[in-house]
Structure 1
Amino acid sequence: MSAVPTAPPPRPAGRWARLGWHWRHDPKIELWIMWWAMFCFYQLFGVVFALMTRVMPPPKPWWGQARIVQWFSDNHDGLLWGFGICFLISGLVASCNALIGYSMRRMSVSRAFPYAYIAIYSLSTLPGMLLAAILLTVGAMRPDRDPAILSWIYDAAFMTFVGTMGVFLVGTAIWMLAILLDRNRVFPLWFGYLNICNLLTEVVVAPVWIFQEGPFAWNGVITFWVDTLVFVVYTAAFITLLRRLVLREDFGEGVLPDLAAPSAGRA
């Protein structure tokens, strides 16, 4: 005779007691851990790349060797400490990929979509973050290198960071198609079209390998500032929509329930 599952105890009123209740009794605890890991990663990413290392916005692509050496010297500590943090938190990217892959499993599309997305975006961590971090760390650790070598490291780091986005294009296209083909409406259609906007930004960054000045250089109005604006809006949108997905999750099949319905795992 199978055991009858017991209902979880009521949630306590205190903040820490409520957190403990979620940890022990919330069936969505793994989803919430992934969501918070993803949320924390993007906050730390912004702090590291914008405030500590000064990689965003990127410095000028037309600088000569002497100015590039000076830039490494001026940002020496920030580069080492910032990218040290970056290497420590890089594994949190997996939480974002896992949660997005999970969302695709709730869609009416083939299971090939989530597996392809996870595979593509697992590879994208290298050109999207780690390769630039490795190159700039190498440059910062040896400021006495030949200026020509430091100049090469500088160019390689920023061209890969801004201009190597092919894997992101493919991954975004997979997610876009999954959303537009989905009959369960896990995500609203407008977010599928927003994926198209994000996909197009991955196309316009290609000229950074050609231009040193103007809107198509790696610090240009189009290839960096417009792309960054779209990326920030896009990222804020999918973080919010993934939170709504976790709130609505009922571990069933088909369409997710509306948020107005009671949810035992709501946080």
Structure 2
Amino acid sequence: AEPEPMEYVRVCDAYGTGYFYIPGTETCLKVGGRVRFDVQAANSYVANSDLGWRTKSRAEIYLDSASDTEYGPLKTQIVTRFDFDGTYNDGVHTTTSLIAANIQLAGFTVGLADSAYTVFTNYAGDIINDDVISYGGFEVNQITYNYDGGNGFKAVVSVEDARLARNGTDVWGNARYVDDDNYKVNVVGGLGYSTGAFGFSVVGGYDSHAEEGAIKARLDGTFGNITAFLMGAWSTDGDTTNAFAPGDTYGPWGDWAVWGG
């Protein structure tokens, strides 16, 4: 019998770099990941800390798929993370996290992803540790619609899993949460516009359990080889925290918070 012809992997460039066709299908796949090793001296979040050395190793795996439909590209995203804290060094303190698991089609994103309140303003700078003053939520189940007008105008509407119900506050004024069985959801909405050199976006979120929320705005600019941004947020109750005004290392960040870079 004649041998079957071998089908080599073909590059799929319709959805960006890194994709290839899964043999025998019209579905494209992209595989990626990273490994990171941290060495920490003392504790960056505690004044006059003398904890000494700490180490941490992290591995992440990225899987993205894409295929064409009559409604546009159908995409999926999976991000998994594995962390090992060297403080224990006993071989069993590896934590596993599912960072993203979502489906995207015709502007809709359903599943696990960072909160639209955080993503719409492009987080808070491209640095590793941007969490001293929290600027929104991260991994959350959601149903989100992103609109891109193709002329610089964009908009977002999102319904997100509220997950937990508020149950008072702790000694620092942070909200305490417990599991509940009601049907509340958090809501996010935002508008933005960008040109080649400047961009502006504003987004708001309402925490249905805390019955509070926050509004955040960001201004971006490009000046030759320099890019800069300024972002500010207002909390409806600066004495407590909510899903969209999570506070800082020491508790609520008050009525206002500002970021820049």
Higher strand share: 2
Higher relative contact order (CA 8 A, sep 6+): 1
Per the normalisation by structure 1, the TM-score is 0.23
Higher helix share: 1
Per the normalisation by structure 2, the TM-score is 0.24
